[in-house]
Amino acid sequence: MNKVYPDATNALEGLLFDGMTIMSGGFGLCGIPENLILALRESGVKDITVISNNCGVDDFGLGLLLQTRQIKKMVSSYVGENAEFERQFLSGELELEFNPQGTLAERIRAGSAGIPAFYTKTGYGTLVAEGKETREFDGEMYVMETALHADLSIVKAWKGDRSGNLVFRKTARNFNPMMAGAGKVCIAEVEELVEVGDLDPDQIHTPAIFVNRVIEGVHYEKRIERATTRPRG
């Protein structure tokens, strides 16, 4: 089975429809599938729900899809660096489902593992728990959270082979591995495409069984969301 596609546009062919749910890997601007996001923008698909830790910045990453009004709803944990996100949310143009960051990660992992729901102490007694089932375990109160799934997962890896085995590098190994298994279809964008057998099996983070299509990305900007440095001396 040939999983390798020539570019992001071809890899998305036949998978997109208005109103779909898309998981997009990355943390801030680290480990985001830049080429696939650009191809989504060019596709014109609209009214999409995006599950991602955040929504990039105003002019990069998923923020590009906010500019074109293609996103109807975000399921996120952090949106602090995107002024357009704030504007659309406060004006009622954008729906938002906020999650504590660990809860969001575990909801995605549960979707990947086939676990329909789980209990967590995080958020009990706050707005996060409103309308959700709660239960006591060993004298502590917990909130039930449900798994997250998507019609499509788009992830970014450092290296990948032609079968779809993936290796993530450092901080980019954040939401990407768990999202790969939580979508009905997963497209992996890799910085370096290698032959089957070139990757050390012990270093593979996501096995090929979770990946349906692979592209080798081009022209990565790898922006820094916010540079923080300490004084010299």
Phi, psi of 216 (to 5 degrees): -95, 115
pLDDT at 233 over 80: no
Does residue 86 sit in helix, strand or coil? helix
d(CA 181, CA 169): 18
pLDDT at 230 over 90: no
Note the pLDDT of residue 190. Answer: 97
CATH architecture for segment(s) 1-116+143-153+173-187: 3-Layer(aba) Sandwich (3.40)
pLDDT band with cut points at 50, 70 and 90 for residue 200 = very high
Average pLDDT over residues 99-128: 96
Instruction: Give the lowest-confidence range in 58-72, 84-98, 129-143, 215-229.
Output: 215-229
pLDDT band with cut points at 50, 70 and 90 for residue 216 = very high
Cβ neighbours of residue 205 closer than 8 Å, sequence gap 6 or more = 157, 166, 167, 168, 173, 177
Cβ neighbours of residue 132 closer than 8 Å, sequence gap 6 or more = 143, 144, 145
pLDDT band with cut points at 50, 70 and 90 for residue 58 = confident
pLDDT higher for 148 or 1?
A: 148
Q: CB count, 10 Å around CB of 159?
A: 18
Note the pLDDT of residue 142. Answer: 98
pLDDT at 196 over 90: yes
Model confidence over 68-103: pLDDT tens digits?
999 999 999 987 778 899 899 999 999 999 999 999
Note the pLDDT of residue 64. Answer: 94
pLDDT higher for 127 or 233?
A: 127
Domain coordinates of the chain in residue numbers? Answer: 1-116+143-153+173-187
Cβ–Cβ under 8 Å, residues 183 and 153:
yes
Model confidence over 9-55: pLDDT tens digits?
999 999 999 999 999 999 878 899 999 999 999 999 999 999 999 99
pLDDT band with cut points at 50, 70 and 90 for residue 56 = confident
Percent of the chain with pLDDT over 90: 82
Note the pLDDT of residue 222. Answer: 74
